[in-house]
């Protein structure tokens, strides 16, 4: 299999949702987000899906083995994966990274790089706590960076905008602490293998994309 195989990491609000589709389109590769894979397996009632649903229904986290199994299933059966993939949301721990390495070695595939979107925590807090959403359409605004024409009102319909309950500073700071504790060792693990591409993601999305393109060109 030729193609581009990468892991995309970044804290909440760093822009993964903006950049992943651009990478997917440019390289014609699959975007494997952990949550989407889980939902797909559960919906299709595969063996992995049934097992995962049982665990989730009990309020527990799905095991590393199940997630690795889902990734293997995608690599074998998803035609988009023949050109490569973006892994999003996995691995979150060094143990998971080692299990992913073992799977890729078994399938004779090699990871090109780990793209890390780096943004200062305080900027992320400003980005996320200012987010406003029009519930019916999903259109999003930002009080500071992309304000609606009329405060708290959707530009298209004139209906009220809302702020998501988890888009608050306290919740976000907790998520960021967890993110740094979990992700720093994973990033160090890949740095040790020379598989790391740091991206300064506090800039405009177009500038971030230029950096990502340049980084991926080096590892093709």
For a pLDDT cut of 90, what percent of the chain falls above it?
Answer: 81
Does residue 95 register a pLDDT over 90?
yes
Task: Tell whether 135 is covered by a domain.
Answer: no
Give the pLDDT score at 13: 85
**CA 33 to CA 209: how far, in whole Å?**
19
Asked whether 199 and 117 are in contact (CB, 8 A), the reply is yes
CATH number, domain of 113, equals: 3.40.50.300
How many domains in the chain? Answer: 1
Q: Are 49 and 41 in contact (CB under 8 A)?
A: yes
Average pLDDT, the chain: 93
**Within a domain: residue 42?**
yes
Residue 154 lies in a domain: no
Note whether residue 139 is domain-resident: no
Query: Which tens digits make up the pLDDT trace of 160-187?
Result: 999 988 778 888 899 899 999 988 999 9
Residue 141 lies in a domain: no
Asked if residue 100 belongs to a domain, the reply is yes
**48 with 71: CB under 8 angstroms?**
no
Q: How far apart are CA 44 and CA 121, in angstroms?
A: 38
- Assess if residue 51 is contained within a domain: yes
- 131 within some domain: no
Positions marked active-site: 16, 92, 131, 164, 175
Q: Alpha-carbon distance 11 to 177, whole Å?
A: 10
pLDDT digits (tens, 9 = 90+) for 39-67: 999 999 999 999 999 999 999 989 999 99
Annotated binding site for AMP: 34, 39, 60-62, 89-92, 96, 164, 175
Residue 2 corresponds to which tokens in the numbers above? 């030729």
Domain carrying residue 21: 5-120+169-217
Give the position of tokens 């903006």: 18
Alpha-carbon dihedral sign for residues 154, 16, 20, 64: negative
Binding residues for ATP: 13-18, 131, 140-141, 203
């Amino acid at each position: 299999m030729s193609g581009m195989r990468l892991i995309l990491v970044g804290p909440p609000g760093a822009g993964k949702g903006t950049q992943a589709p651009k990478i997917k389109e440019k390289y014609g590769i699959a975007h494997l987000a952990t949550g989407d894979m889980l939902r797909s397996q559960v919906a299709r009632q595969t063996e992995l899906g049934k097992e995962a649903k049982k665990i989730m229904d009990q309020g527990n986290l799905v095991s590393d083995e199940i997630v690795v199994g889902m990734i293997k299933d995608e690599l074998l059966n998803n035609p988009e994966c023949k050109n490569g993939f973006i892994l999003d949301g996995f691995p979150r721990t060094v143990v998971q990274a080692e299990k992913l390495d073992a799977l890729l070695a078994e399938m004779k595939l090699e990871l090109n790089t780990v793209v890390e979107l780096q943004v200062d925590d305080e900027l992320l807090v400003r980005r996320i706590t200012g987010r406003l959403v029009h519930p019916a359409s999903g259109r999003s605004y930002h009080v500071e960076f992309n304000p609606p024409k009329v405060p708290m009102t959707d530009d298209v319909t004139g209906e009220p905008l809302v702020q998501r309950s988890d888009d608050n500073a306290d919740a976000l700071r907790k998520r960021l602490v967890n993110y740094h504790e979990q992700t720093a060792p994973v990033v160090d693990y890949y740095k040790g293998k020379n598989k790391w591409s740091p991206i300064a993601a506090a800039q405009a999305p177009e500038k971030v994309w230029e950096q990502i393109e340049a980084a991926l060109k080096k590892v093709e």
